[in-house]
Amino acid sequence: MPHLHNPLPPLQSDRLLDQLRERIRYLHYSIRTEQAYVYWVDAFVRFHGMRHPAEMAGPEVEGFLSWLANERNVAAATHKQALSALLFLYQKVLEQDLPWMAEIGRPKDRVRLPVVLTHDEVAHVLGKLADAHRLMGQLLYGTGMRIMEGVRLRVKDVDFARRAIVVREGKGAKDRVVMLPASLMPALRDQMAQARRLWSADRAAGRAGVHMPNALARKYPRAEASWTWFWVFPHEKLAVDPRTDIERRHHMLEQTFQRAFKKALVQARIVKPATPHTLRHSFATHLLQSGYDIRTVQELLGHADVSTTMIYTHVLKVGGGGVRSPLDALAGVDALGLARGGSYRAADDDADFPDHPPRVSMPVAQYLVPAPGLAACAA
């Protein structure tokens, strides 16, 4: 029995990249996916001397992907994204379903531990952020939101009464609820007061309202100009909507915060290769350190599979799985960092991090136990 596919409507555009955009929008892919797929299809065509993809097949696709892997040394995730873009082109735009599409090689994912900041490092970085960006950093660390979820936050999704934030259309177009830290409520109210002044100025000037997801602008024509749909972190300047060419108020750009975060890292003298997403990793790791169960952390992060969340349990583990190094045995130091005489480390040990306790293996999960707890264990 032949495999049946859902029929797609005929394309109205004549140019290849316009056809690609048309199909992506019909299938409700995000603007980020559209931009990425257009980039890779354009690169594929240029790599093969401007030949039309309909004239090419598996060997040309594999040649382009091999060039990316061998000459450009792209990461596996980038390799997979380029492959996904080309498969979408052939299957959804050119409407081909040929054997080579299933036989083409896929890159293997490498499991890498996420970068995690300690509590002190988080405090130092947030303290170095400029006033205009500190609240965003605190919100990402305090809720575990992704950076795009933070900058796209709307007024209606902040519930001060319930101390909750509704994250709309997160990764995988899923909604979830996260906590609203009580310590951020005054600053968040001030931020929303500043945003309301921009909203009032836009309304007084008769400007277009904010971008509305899907077809809500047609269903609720006045919603885009309402305060409830306005951004919590609006951009100071107006911008042209890339899909409608309408000049409107956009949210704060994620690149703006990324640059501010990178500058704060340098000022805090932190050498870890951290990014704003590191705040999300630190949020999850610190919750597990505090004793919250893995399922709770999974729901807060919005992971579909608990195995994704389990990566943070590996971050908590002692190097070598808690095995005592033979060098420590020669030095007369036990697993807790205690010398044979019972003293707790030398005065000059860990001079760079005097307030950080050593890691200690626990029966179920390995946590960073406060120093007084270690001393009690040693006694």
As a whole number of Å, the end-to-end CA separation of the chain is 73
The pLDDT value given to residue 355: 54
The pLDDT value given to residue 379: 44
Among residues 21, 79, 133, 146, the one annotated as catalytic is: 146
pTM of this prediction? 0.74
CB atoms within 10 A of CB 254: 16
For residue range 29-50, list pLDDT tens digits in order. 888 899 999 999 999 999 999 9
| Residue ranges, the chain, pLDDT below 50 | 1-4, 320, 341-347, 349-350, 353, 357-379
The pLDDT value given to residue 367: 35
Among residues 48, 277, 317, 356, the one annotated as catalytic is: 277
The pLDDT value given to residue 316: 73
Sign of CA dihedral 36, 42, 47, 52: positive
Residue 197 annotated as catalytic:
no
Residue 52 annotated as catalytic:
no
34 touches 24 (CB < 8 A): yes
Residue 277 annotated as catalytic:
yes
81 touches 64 (CB < 8 A): no
Residue 303 annotated as catalytic:
yes
DSSP string, 163-225: TEEEE-S-TTS--EEEE--GGGHHHHHHHHHHHHHHHHHHHHHT-B----STTHHHHSTTGGG
Among residues 21, 79, 250, 303, the one annotated as catalytic is: 303
Distances in whole angstroms, Cα of residue 110 to Cα of each of 43, 76, 186, 258, 375: 25, 8, 42, 25, 39
Residue 269 annotated as catalytic:
no
Among residues 171, 203, 317, 345, the one annotated as catalytic is: 171
Residue 171 annotated as catalytic:
yes
| Residue of 142, 369, 133 whose CA lies nearest to 264 | 133
For residue range 107-163, list pLDDT tens digits in order. 777 777 899 999 999 999 999 999 999 999 999 999 999 999 999 999 999 999 999
The pLDDT value given to residue 172: 73
Among residues 21, 152, 250, 280, the one annotated as catalytic is: 280
Among residues 37, 211, 312, 359, the one annotated as catalytic is: 312
Using CA atoms, how far apart are residues 69 and 109, in angstroms rounded to an integer?
14
Q: How many CA atoms are closer than 13 Å to the CA of 222, on its beta-carbon side?
A: 1
